[in-house]
Amino acid sequence: MTVNGAASQAVEEAAPAAGEAVGRVLGTQAASPLSFWVGLEPGKVVQLDDVVVTRRDVPGYGPVLVAGVVTTVEARHEGAAYDSDVFLIADGALPAAVVEVAEVRVTRVEPEVFVPPLPGAKVHLAGSDDREQALYFDVMDRRIPIGMGRDGRPMYANFDFLDGTRGAHVSISGVSGVATKTSFATFLLYSIFNSGVLDAESANTKALIFSVKGEDLLFLDHDNLRLDEGARAVYARLGLPARPFGSVHVFAPPRPGDANGVPHVSARTQGVSSFYWTLVEFCEEELLRFVFADADDERAGYSLLVGQVAARLKAWAEPVGDGGAVMVRGTAARTFADLVELLSDQLQDESTRQQWTGAQTPLGTVNAFLRRLRSAVRPLSPIVRGDLPFYRNHTVSTSDAQVSIVDLHNLPERAQRFVVGVVLRGEFHRKESSGTARPLLFVVLDELNKYAPREGDSPIKEILLDVAERGRSLGVILIGAQQTASEVERRIVSNSAVRVAGRLDPAEAARSEYGWLPPAVRERATIAKPGTMFVAQPEIPVPLAVAFPFPAWATRPAEAAAPAVAKASSGDPFQGLPGVEEDIPPF
């Protein structure tokens, strides 16, 4: 026996109880402190994402643990020279052996003595303690479960990289309808609220979710009728209760043409409030700029005119009555269409135009501004009102419940941009004025590429950049989802400490924005099933493949059981939480 071989055997005998031995470190492939190959023993099997460990005795340091994750598994005939030899070997006419090998990407060396594992050293599947070390779970003082690994054991994320302690923000990418992006974002919120990492702050920590795809997210506070015992067992292994969210308030726009401001929803009837902005608020808060929230608007020649007109409205608009209407320079406006017509008359009149623009403005620029403004009348009229009681509660607020859902699916895209921009600005300013990062506010926003595109500028993009770059210090955490990370502003994606990918389009997976995915994982992401996500976090060198459990809350109206608050007859209509837009097969 060689000296190294004897040392290796001594290490194996002294090592703590490990998992099943599966093979030995190959000597035909170079081993390094960063990766090595394993030859599997006959009858032994490893699969992608398995965690394996080996040890080496290093003079002066003692036993060194080298742990890693299987990234490639290959099988071949050893002894075959030609492709056609496979038939001769199968018939027994040519001697050859079937050999299986696996590539391991090193995740942790403990202690940090960066030496390669020795050829011939035994490799084991990681036992509980070794797995904790290999994936850095043992140093996560505050960890939240994010799903189950392929070995059937829980996977975790370090909450320090979510709450702003050492990082913040989450970026989730994947094909629409298959990648289950919103489903994972909702489960992540549920895990944060129920895993115990928030301690005493749990009751005051808030989440703001913008729902853009149907009414599926409106039932997070209802039990899921499809939840079976197997799924409940998964929640138990994750250390989470299998129940819906406990505190939810839903906000929806008023029905078009409704004089009473009834929320425009059909499936949910309790715990829903309508939201809108009065013309007084529209003028006083200079919301006109959010009417022009497309990147194309910022590039247009009328972008300066938008700010000038908004400033004049703030200075000249006066409230009329108690319905939110305004009087501007002697003319009353009771609807958004009235206000647009008032501006049109004022800006097209040469005698008053310069008083609004502050300088000589070409008529072509004014007309372009007015054309764009008139096109906003139809989408914005239901949510910019002067005909509803000004004193009634009509604003989106995160103070009423732990989770606030803003339902946008009944609004045109232009109105959706307006709502997202105005609500985000209000919440961000509220957090700024509070002077403290605690309690946290989590913002879940799907279709991030629509609100913060890579090219161009817009008021919404400015706010989202502010959230990405300063939100960590203010306690505003963005959980953004998009089909294509390559089309989202780079600074938003790069400021996300945790990155997640579900099923990816092959062309999108090849983009540089997914450089955090190793090549083999990129290929796997193109065939990933719904419910499988690849999660990268700063502490762990490789993404973790996780499967998150079937939602315990309803993800569509048909799955919704009666809410617990209704059964208890507590009288509080705002206890509960809505669901998810994608269907997830049982775990």
Whether residue 58 contacts residue 80, with contact meaning beta carbons closer than 8 Å, is answered with: no
- Decide: helix, strand or coil at residue 543: coil
Residue 391 pLDDT grade (very low, low, confident, very high; cuts 50, 70, 90)? low
- Within this chain, do residues 556 and 415 fall inside the same structural domain, yes or no? yes
* 390 belongs to a structural domain: no
Residue 121 pLDDT grade (very low, low, confident, very high; cuts 50, 70, 90)? very high
Q: What is the model's pLDDT at position 259?
A: 75
Q: What is the model's pLDDT at position 102?
A: 96
- Within this chain, do residues 160 and 265 fall inside the same structural domain, yes or no? yes
- Within this chain, do residues 355 and 226 fall inside the same structural domain, yes or no? no
Mean pLDDT of 456-469: 89
* 477 belongs to a structural domain: yes
- Within this chain, do residues 412 and 340 fall inside the same structural domain, yes or no? no
Q: What is the model's pLDDT at position 298?
A: 55
Residue 392 pLDDT grade (very low, low, confident, very high; cuts 50, 70, 90)? low
- Within this chain, do residues 317 and 286 fall inside the same structural domain, yes or no? yes
* 574 belongs to a structural domain: no
Mean pLDDT of 269-283: 89
Look at residues 104, 134, 164 and tell me which one is the last residue of a structural domain: 134
Mean pLDDT of the chain: 86
Furthest C-alpha separation in the chain: 102
Q: Is the pLDDT of residue 482 over 80?
A: yes
Q: What is the model's pLDDT at position 229?
A: 94
Residue 301 pLDDT grade (very low, low, confident, very high; cuts 50, 70, 90)? low
**Domain that includes residue 104, residue range:** 3-134
- Within this chain, do residues 415 and 466 fall inside the same structural domain, yes or no? yes
Residue 297 pLDDT grade (very low, low, confident, very high; cuts 50, 70, 90)? low
Q: What is the model's pLDDT at position 567?
A: 37
Range with lowest mean pLDDT among 202-206, 233-237, 299-303, 353-357: 299-303
109-123, 263-277, 305-319: which is most confident: 109-123
* 303 belongs to a structural domain: yes
- Within this chain, do residues 419 and 536 fall inside the same structural domain, yes or no? yes
- Within this chain, do residues 408 and 445 fall inside the same structural domain, yes or no? yes
What is the tens place of the pLDDT at every residue in 67-84?
999 999 999 998 888 999
User: Roughly what angle, to the nearest 10 degrees, separates helices 363-374 and 303-316?
Assistant: 70
Whether residue 53 contacts residue 20, with contact meaning beta carbons closer than 8 Å, is answered with: no
What percentage of the chain has pLDDT greater than the value 70? 90
Which has more confidence, 579 or 23? 23
Residue 9 pLDDT grade (very low, low, confident, very high; cuts 50, 70, 90)? very low
Q: Is the pLDDT of residue 270 over 60?
A: yes
* 575 belongs to a structural domain: no
Look at residues 333, 358, 385 and tell me which one is the last residue of a structural domain: 385
- Within this chain, do residues 509 and 538 fall inside the same structural domain, yes or no? yes
- Within this chain, do residues 403 and 475 fall inside the same structural domain, yes or no? yes
Look at residues 385, 412, 433 and tell me which one is the last residue of a structural domain: 385
Q: What is the model's pLDDT at position 303?
A: 76
Q: What is the model's pLDDT at position 533?
A: 94
Residue 300 pLDDT grade (very low, low, confident, very high; cuts 50, 70, 90)? low
Mean pLDDT of 55-64: 93
Residue 438 is part of a domain; what is its CATH number?
Answer: 3.40.50.300
Q: What is the dihedral of CA 171, 177, 182, 183, to 10 degrees?
A: -120
No. of helices (H) and no. of strands (E), the chain: 19, 23
Q: Is the pLDDT of residue 14 over 50?
A: no
Q: What is the pTM of this model?
A: 0.86
How many Å apart are CA 51 and CA 105, to the nearest integer? Answer: 10
* 487 belongs to a structural domain: yes
Mean pLDDT of 316-334: 87
Mean pLDDT of 191-213: 91
Domain count, the chain: 3
Q: What is the model's pLDDT at position 560?
A: 79
Task: Output b/e per residue, 335-362; b: 16+ Cβ within 10 A.
Answer: bbebbbebbbebbeeeeeeeebbeeebe
* 587 belongs to a structural domain: no
- Within this chain, do residues 108 and 155 fall inside the same structural domain, yes or no? no
Residues 6 or more apart in contact with residue 407 via CB below 8 angstroms: 211, 215, 217, 218, 250, 251, 252, 253, 265
What percentage of the chain has pLDDT greater than the value 90? 56
Instruction: Tell me which residue of 111, 106, 77, 69 sits closest to 94, measured CA to CA.
Output: 77
- Within this chain, do residues 545 and 476 fall inside the same structural domain, yes or no? yes
* 357 belongs to a structural domain: yes
Q: Is the pLDDT of residue 299 over 70?
A: no
Residue 393 pLDDT grade (very low, low, confident, very high; cuts 50, 70, 90)? confident
How many Å apart are CA 225 and CA 220, to the nearest integer? Answer: 12
